[in-house]
Amino acid sequence: MNNVRISVKAPAKINLTLDVLAKRPDGYHEVEMVMTTVDLADRVDLTLRDDGRISLDCSASFVPDDIRNHAYKAALLLKERYQVPYGVHLYIDKQIPVAAGLAGGSSDAAATLRGLNLLWNLGLSLDELAEVGAEIGSDVPFCVYGGTAVARGRGEQITHLAPPPPCWVILAKPPIGVSTADVYGNLRVKGIERHPSTENMLRAIQEQNFSLMCRTLGNVLEEVTLNMHPQVRQIKDLMEASGADGVLMSGSGPTVFALVQKEAKVHRIYNALRGFVKDVFVARMLGVPERGNACTNTYGNDTLAP
Ligand SMILES: C[C@](O)(CO)[C@H](O)COP(=O)(O)OP(=O)(O)OC[C@H]1O[C@@H](n2ccc(N)nc2=O)[C@H](O)[C@@H]1O
Ligand SMILES: Nc1ncnc2c1ncn2[C@@H]1O[C@H](COP(=O)(O)OP(=O)(O)OP(=O)(O)O)[C@@H](O)[C@H]1O
């Protein structure tokens, strides 16, 4: 093991809108979704290995530490594609709940790609890293860039956006794991009654209109997951009853988030939820790619430009 080490932040994402337009011949769904990052984040530490091997540890023991881990897969793909002689040891400090609809694994993979680009001195652009990321999962390209974007295709076609109006985000995850494949599998695309308006969400962001953003929140997967897991509906109801300005399930769930602008409301909603569910987090909307994403290393400074 070498002592050249960098740390990269891997923020969670939330979906402000998630629309499904069609089922594709390849089994995936054609989506249109507005996504943004929040400051609930994992940290990925990358230490250079001279022996060419890839290894991984995670603070959460139930997360796989082999090729099933998205971060491990990211390192292997990059190593093979660019014939890198070096290896890496990855340590993931897990703060984002797992199988929660917050793209934790995807963000770890994206952070690994960004970190290895520096550690292995590959000189790749974010577009090139996102292309590698798409081989790992549909959410990885967005996570490579971070910030705020519309994602189309199966999620890999990214159009960057300005940050949404600033606000607090309270996230609550019931103690169940949800399989994204099952949720998409249970969706009847032709039966979708209300599609969220991407156009209105873009307008809300452009005009920095918090109230329009809250009114436009929408996720067509929500109904599917709510029917599978009634607890998710209870959390949603509780957030709404506690005065949240907007409430939505993220991704395929089961995490539900509430948006509020007034700090006093944050405490009220947090306290109401804590009696009901253990995993409650208070975060700020990040909305922009984080500067200084990769920190302390033996090169002396952070050269990652997100
Ligand atoms: C629900 C979201 O998280 C919203 O951001 C994404 O659409 C899913 O992203 P992800 O977890 O990275 O998804 P992947 O790992 O690529 O795919 C998991 C499974 O979800 C289904 N899937 C995923 C993305 C998509 N556009 N259509 C799909 O039908 C497929 O059955 C796939 O086998
Ligand atoms: N680095 C990782 N962190 C967490 N889970 C991982 C990781 N790599 C692979 N996994 C596996 O992926 C599965 C989904 O975990 P993850 O936390 O990424 O889900 P998610 O937040 O619902 O993702 P998405 O929002 O992209 O659908 C878990 O069952 C876990 O075993």
In a domain, 133, yes or no: yes
In this prediction, the residues of the chain whose per-residue pLDDT falls under 70 are 1-2, 291-306
The atom number, within ligand 2, closest to the CA of 94 reads 3
Span from the CA of 68 to the centroid of ligand 2 (angstroms): 10
In a domain, 10, yes or no: yes
Span from the CA of 180 to the centroid of ligand 2 (angstroms): 10
Structure confidence at residue 159 (pLDDT): 98
In a domain, 301, yes or no: no
Query: Is the complex ipTM more than 0.95?
Result: yes
The yes-or-no answer on residue 13 being catalytic is yes
In a domain, 299, yes or no: no
In a domain, 298, yes or no: no
pTM for the whole thing?
0.94
* Residues 155 and 252 placed together within one structural domain of the fold: no
- Give the pairing type, strands 168-173 and 256-260: antiparallel
Q: Is the CB of 181 under 6 A from ligand 1?
A: yes
* Residues 9 and 117 placed together within one structural domain of the fold: yes
The last residue of a domain, from among 161, 194, 214: 161
| 102 annotated among ligand-binding-site residues | yes
CATH at residue 91: 3.30.230.10
- Give the pairing type, strands 168-173 and 279-284: antiparallel
* Residues 97 and 241 placed together within one structural domain of the fold: no
- Give the pairing type, strands 148-153 and 168-173: unpaired
What whole-number distance in Å separates Cα of residue 295 and Cα of residue 156? 27
* Residues 177 and 265 placed together within one structural domain of the fold: yes
Span from the CA of 104 to the centroid of ligand 2 (angstroms): 6
* Residues 13 and 153 placed together within one structural domain of the fold: yes
Q: Is the CB of 22 under 6 A from ligand 1?
A: no
Domain that holds residue 274: 168-284
Per DSSP, what are the bridge partners of residue 172? Answer: 256, 280
Nearest CA to ligand 1 atom 3: 251
* Residues 127 and 19 placed together within one structural domain of the fold: yes
| 98 annotated among ligand-binding-site residues | yes
In a domain, 297, yes or no: no
* Residues 135 and 52 placed together within one structural domain of the fold: yes
In a domain, 304, yes or no: no
Three-state DSSP class for residue 306: coil
| 101 annotated among ligand-binding-site residues | yes
The yes-or-no answer on residue 65 being catalytic is no
Q: What is the DSSP letter of 69?
A: S
In sequence order, which ranges of the chain are alpha helices (DSSP H)? 70-81, 104-119, 126-134, 140-145, 180-186, 198-206, 210-216, 222-228, 230-241, 263-274
* Residues 91 and 146 placed together within one structural domain of the fold: yes
Structure confidence at residue 130 (pLDDT): 98
Q: What is the DSSP letter of 205?
A: H
* Residues 21 and 47 placed together within one structural domain of the fold: yes
Report the domain count for the chain: 2
In a domain, 41, yes or no: yes
* Residues 87 and 105 placed together within one structural domain of the fold: yes
